Structure 1
Amino acid sequence: MAAAFDRDALLDAFDQIGRAAVKAGTKLQIAVYGGSALMLASNFRFATEDVDVSQLEHPLPDWLAAVVHEIAEKNCWQDNWFNDGVAFHLSSLADHAIDHLEFGTFPRDGTSPGLAVSVPSAEYLLALKLKAARILDPLRGETERLDILNLMQVVGIATVEEAIALLGRYFPVSAASSEKQRFLLSNMNRDGGIDAPKYPR
């Protein structure tokens, strides 16, 4: 299991990527998903194990591969801490302008930005979480449950049917065969969410 890192460590890493991009004479624009998006933009997730980003160029440009490797070595993170594995699971129905929010540019020191980061809307992120639905995972299940619980409260969803309707907005095939999601939502413990979840904070 990968070592977890917190929000400050990730923001520092983004600063380093932003500086490296400027030095390379380019600007990288990414969307961040999953636990890393929640850690950046919510008040209810405080750690993650990797950073799931929108599709990257493969192989990575030399400057990006070098800085990502340098960050991993410096922080004792896994080599794949910065990856686009989530790109396969994203919805073709999601609109970047509507279903994403600008998070910030990096570095944060007022110099020219080399990295621009956005995060999915709460609705889109909840749909992604529902599609994956790893609540029964022995390692990540409890974190996933709380993520879903808090996002449902942020979005204003209380029932299974409302949750499946939201899933269908982005993933109609998954919603049409949503037995797993219905079972998990119907039997999910609704305790443990925070009083006032915010996304974005």
Structure 2
Amino acid sequence: MAARFDRDQLQDALDRLGEAAAANHTQLDLAVYGGAALMLASRFRYASEDVDIASIGEWPDWLRKAVDKVARDNGWAADWLNDAIQFHLSPAATQSDDHLEFGTYPRRGEPGLRVFVPSAEYLLALKLKAMRVADPVKGPLEARDIRKLMAACGLTGIDDAIAILGQYFPRSAADADKQRFLLKHVLSQEDPDDDPPDYPVRDL
């Protein structure tokens, strides 16, 4: 199993990527999704084992070297930063309407990296499309993410959640029997914590 890291460790890694970008006179923009986005910008996800990003095309050599060094120094997986999620992103989502600038890195010094996170609605739609709540390992965490994101969006019912799914993935919403069935189970549970369903939050 890949090593997991927390928010502080991820922020430190992003600082290093930002420093590398600045040293190469580059402004790099990364859109971050999944558990890493929640870990950065919510009060209810505390660890992840990778960072899902939208594709930025061919990686420059300096970025590959910086990512590899972060992995080696921290004992993380070689692909801790990856764009495997690109295939699952919605063509209906736009940078201006469905993403928010979370911050710049390094946090001190000349910024070379800007990090964006998806809106609560878009991230919820991505979670609903994947619907991995039956996974024996990650399922409980995925279910909790969905409950918290629904609360962050002000949603309480299954139909409301499917409507959000339909905004970004119309075909999935048109045939959402799986999502409806699993959402009944997800929403029948309660979270044994008081973590507020705040997302996105820039200053934690």
TM-score bracket, normalised by the shorter chain, equals: over 0.9
Question: Offset of 1:32 from its aligned partner?
Answer: 0.3
**Corresponding residue of 1:90:** 89
CA contact (8 A) 1:42 1:197 kept: yes
Task: Check whether the contact 1:150–1:194 (CA below 8 A) recurs between aligned residues.
Answer: no
Please give the per-residue CA displacement for 1:63-88, whole angstroms capped at 9, x wherever unaligned. Answer: 00000000000000000000011111
Question: Percent of counterpart pairs with the same letter?
Answer: 54
CA–CA distance in structure 2, aligned partners of residues 117 and 75 of structure 1: 21
Residue in structure 1 matched with residue 69 of structure 2 by the alignment: 70
Judge conservation of contact 1:152–1:158 (CA < 8 Å) in 2: yes
Question: Within 1, Cα distance between the matches of 2:114 and 2:170?
Answer: 30
Among 173, 176, 188, the alignment partner of 2:174 is 176
| AA partner of residue 48 (structure 1) | S
CA contact (8 A) 1:149 1:193 kept: no
Match of 1:51? 51
SS at match of 1:43: coil
Q: 1:163 aligns with which of 137, 161, 164?
A: 161
Aligned to 2:99: 100
CA RMSD, 1 decimal: 1.0
Who is 2:152 aligned against?
154
The offset of 1:193, in angstroms, is 6.2
Q: Normalising by the residue count of structure 2, what TM-score does the alignment of the two structures yield?
A: 0.95
Question: Quick check: 1:30–1:54 contact (8 Å CA) kept in 2?
Answer: yes
| Matched letter for residue 17 of structure 2 | I
Equivalent in the alignment of 1:191: 190
Give the whole-Å Cα distance in 2 for the aligned partners of 1:37 and 1:194: 20
Instruction: For residues 121-141 of structure 1, give each alpha carbon's deviation from its aligned partner in whole angstroms, at most 9, with x where no partner exists.
Output: 001000000000000001100
Q: Please tell me whether residue 41 in structure 1 is matched to residue 34 in structure 2.
A: no
Q: More displaced, 4-13 or 190-199?
A: 190-199
Per the TM alignment, residue 24 of structure 1 is displaced from its structure 2 partner at its CA by: 1.2
The answer for the alignment partner of 1:119 in structure 2 is 117
User: Aligned residue for 2:4?
Assistant: 4
How much has 1:187 moved relative to structure 2?
2.0
**Aligned partner of 1:198: which letter?**
D
Once residues 199 and 175 of structure 2 are traced to their aligned partners in structure 1, the CA distance between those partners, rounded to angstroms, is: 28
**Structure 2 residues without counterparts, runs of 5 or longer:** none
Instruction: Report the CA distance between 1:194 and its aligned residue.
Output: 4.6
The 1:159–1:127 alpha-carbon spacing in structure 2 relative to 1, beyond 3 Å, is same
Read off the aligned partner of 2:183 and give its amino acid letter: L
SS at 2:52 equivalent: strand
